Structure 1
């Protein structure tokens, strides 16, 4: 396919310079409709041309060891809410719509998408769903895979299918949505998403508990007591000292406990926490707008695909760690101790209720790689996993982003061959280099 051929489908621009995060394309095409997506993929499939897909770009450093595909297909301008069923608490939206745009629109109706992923003004709903992203409030509200009830998918050859539906109660059987959620765009391009909504909370509270040094076991025991109680926190997030200092002014492990309910219910649960505070623990309490502003600031840590520095000493990387929920604190402690040993700076947090931790790393490339490998080893010793969610291309070529291939890798390969036999879509972005 040459430039003249592409122009018959959609206007194309040359992009020969590449990008330090890779996952680009020699030719750049912007889609404005599902038909545009279908036409570009059909033509690329016919001519054996590879395609990378991008929207907000926040996941550009996540997976892939190829600098440029033949085509970089952007969905950033394919945005907007298609349908909002206020009574049914569902919404159908185009993939290029940012989470902030959705949040602002739904707020007028007293509703929200209960996702609290980083960089909401940049992250698009298509990228969030394709990477199955989530935030600290996953403890109560789940993650992308829990919220999507229907999609439209454009296959690699341009065919369009619908999975699921537009109502919460669907027919029994295998939920085809789950095949595409978290697949990093390797099985098809999401052109439409129907998602469950939540009412806005009547009242929000946030307790920040500051623990003295050496309190790891105290934090663990206290968190277990919260989880075993009748309280219903929407987050139970532990912040390491460096990120805590930026968020609270205190360089200590800090436990962020959020409650969202009726005002009296929030106050009652906070009172129970006060009554059982361990010795030596201080706290800060925020309500309503103060709590919302705190979370807004919290969602702006780490790389976002466009804030990488050209300075080698400030190279950025990010890890997503999955583990038993009670191993989160041990993993964060390992992340801190190894950072000192490998001469990198980190900010980290993790959910003691759901077991997902994030580690944001800054330093020289030659220090970052051994640090990530050492931390992954520590995590795997506890039967967890560590995935590199952001890394410059030159480092992704030396580090396995997803870790070792899982025992079910042959199944993943079979699904890929069925959906994209020519392997044109987002090549190398998923587990095992799929």
Structure 2
């Protein structure tokens, strides 16, 4: 094991960890190389914060590298992690600790799946408006540390808007609490935001407290197509200039739209509303009038939470799941972030480059967020040839987007490709600050060494 540096044998590490977690909670890891998974020979499943503290303190003292893991759906995110000695799985720490329905707050353990949390809140008519992909597997800890969001971000915001407090274990075993369990808290620097999107490189979350929202009475999702790209762009601009408040506005390319089972040529847009039914119906009526004026067609209207959610779940699954991808497949997903008006340009560039390099593209772009996701998959030919075509697509997209001032992140790819490219297209101005924070909190590079921008 490269990360051990000869200080402890595998047997010594295993016996020491077994004394902390118990033999039943120390399992073999994925010791064989897997392109989409984090590889390590041991996997610990703590069941308490005390065990997390002891594991991290032991690892830090003996210079062992640790990869925190939730449901494993995001193992292929970020740079390829340097040698990892131990996977620290949070699956054994799940459940809702406190739900204050009157205060619209919930405290939950990090290993809780997103679906479990939503099902717990639903009887009280409440929900957490984060729409993570693969909600039956994605854990709250993984969602926060990856900073992921989906189509509902247009109307509700992101993790940063709902996380108000958390408990974090530093690599040296110190436990800190960030934020406060009150909806309004303006005292000092908001430490919660420091850890969002940190990919488990600074500390390991054990619990979170979120603001939550009442479930809206009415939901409607319009599927609009059979129009030129320019027509859909005019529809987007008209809505941006209007008083309408959609909670969803997504562009889909034809391949992504196939999953909706609608008859259309070219791209489609999804426009969704969530409010009392009178407001939902009036806003949908106004969109219908705009479509008639511009020459677009409403292909379907999905009314109610169940039908809307079924479609949005398909859109979220454009983001691949490391648990479901085989090594024989070659899949890459890119996140692109620009201005609201950049979505059309991102869409057209992604389509053009996909045709050029002979790869299959599924695209979803948020017209009210400026955030797009493009997932490409190679098919046919030798693996090296497929990897080459996908790598060329990535580099061409990075170059073209850079010229337009659009940021890119390759947020899912096999290890072979991640080792050949820059996951983050270019260095950021605050990278020096980030490096200083990492060195202060994790001087021994215990947690996920090298996984995020700048090799931190």
Q: TM-score range by the shorter chain?
A: over 0.9
The answer as to 2:297 corresponding to 1:285 is: no
Alignment match of 1:184 (pick from 193, 199, 216): 199
**Other-structure match for 2:327:** 310
Contact in 2 for aligned 1:24/1:52 (Cα 8 Å): no
Q: CA deviation at 1:219?
A: 1.8
Render the CA deviation track for 1:302-339: whole Å, top value 9, x for unaligned. 4111121333xx31111111111110111011101100
Alignment match of 2:222 (pick from 207, 213, 231): 207
SS in 1 for 2:41: strand
Q: TM-score, normalised by structure 1?
A: 0.96
1-structure distance, mates of 2:422, 2:412: 12
1-structure distance, mates of 2:134, 2:196: 20
Contact in 2 for aligned 1:154/1:188 (Cα 8 Å): yes
Alignment match of 1:154 (pick from 165, 169, 173): 169
Contact in 2 for aligned 1:331/1:378 (Cα 8 Å): no
Alignment match of 1:392 (pick from 410, 414, 430): 414
Alignment match of 1:106 (pick from 106, 121, 142): 121
Structure 2 gap ranges (5+):
1-7, 379-385
**Other-structure match for 1:65:** 80
2-structure distance, mates of 1:68, 1:174: 34
SS in 2 for 1:286: strand
**Other-structure match for 1:296:** 313
The answer as to 2:18 corresponding to 1:7 is: yes
Higher mean C-alpha displacement, 256-265 vs 286-295: 286-295
SS in 2 for 1:378: helix
Q: CA deviation at 1:95?
A: 0.7
**Other-structure match for 1:140:** 155
Render the CA deviation track for 1:399-430: whole Å, top value 9, x for unaligned. 11122221221111001011101111011111
Alignment CA distance shift 1:172-1:395 (3 Å): same
The answer as to 2:256 corresponding to 1:243 is: yes
Contact in 2 for aligned 1:206/1:259 (Cα 8 Å): yes
1-structure distance, mates of 2:258, 2:238: 26
SS in 1 for 2:102: coil
Q: CA deviation at 1:68?
A: 4.4
2-structure distance, mates of 1:330, 1:20: 32
**Other-structure match for 2:239:** 226
Matched residue pairs, number? 430
SS in 2 for 1:104: helix
Contact in 2 for aligned 1:75/1:95 (Cα 8 Å): yes
2-structure distance, mates of 1:286, 1:192: 36
Superposition pairs of residues 27-426 of structure 1, within 5 angstroms: 27-66=42-81, 68-212=83-227, 215-249=228-262, 250-277=264-291, 278-283=293-298, 284-288=300-304, 289-311=306-328, 314-363=329-378, 364-426=386-448
SS in 2 for 1:45: helix
SS in 1 for 2:99: strand
Alignment CA distance shift 1:362-1:414 (3 Å): same
**Other-structure match for 2:383:** none
Q: How well do the aligned residues superpose, as a CA RMSD in angstroms?
A: 1.4
